[in-house]
Amino acid sequence: MTMPLDPKLLQIIACPKCRGRLESKPDGSALLCPACRLAYPIVDEIPDLITEDAQPLTD
C-alpha cells in the first residue's frame, strides 16, 4: 500500500506539460492531469513527472 502525498505538495506541483493542477489517484499510485488526460506514476513515494513516462487516462 502506498502512502498518500502530502496535500501541501499537491498545492505546489503542476503538470509539466500544461502547468495545470494535478490530482492524486484514489489509490495513491499516480498523479492525474485532467486537462492533458495523463497519469504520472508515483514510484517509491516519489512522483515521476517526466512527460514521456506518463500514461494516457482511460475511462
Judge whether 47 lies within some domain.
yes
Instruction: Tell me how long the chain is.
Output: 59
pLDDT value at position 1? 54
Judge whether 31 lies within some domain.
yes
pLDDT value at position 10? 87
Judge whether 44 lies within some domain.
yes
Judge whether 2 lies within some domain.
no
Per-residue pLDDT of the chain (59 residues; tens, 9 = 90+): 566 678 888 899 999 999 999 999 989 899 999 999 999 999 988 999 999 999 999 87
Distances 6 to 36, 52, 57 between C-alpha atoms, Å:
23, 24, 23
Determine phi and psi for 33, rounding to 5 degrees: -110, 105
What CATH number should be reported for the domain holding residue 50? 2.20.25.10
Burial class of 15 by CB neighbour count within 10 A (0 to 12, 13 to 18, 19+): buried
pTM (2 d.p.): 0.87
Residue-range definition of the domain harbouring residue 29: 7-56
Question: How many structural domains comprise the chain?
Answer: 1
Judge whether 27 lies within some domain.
yes
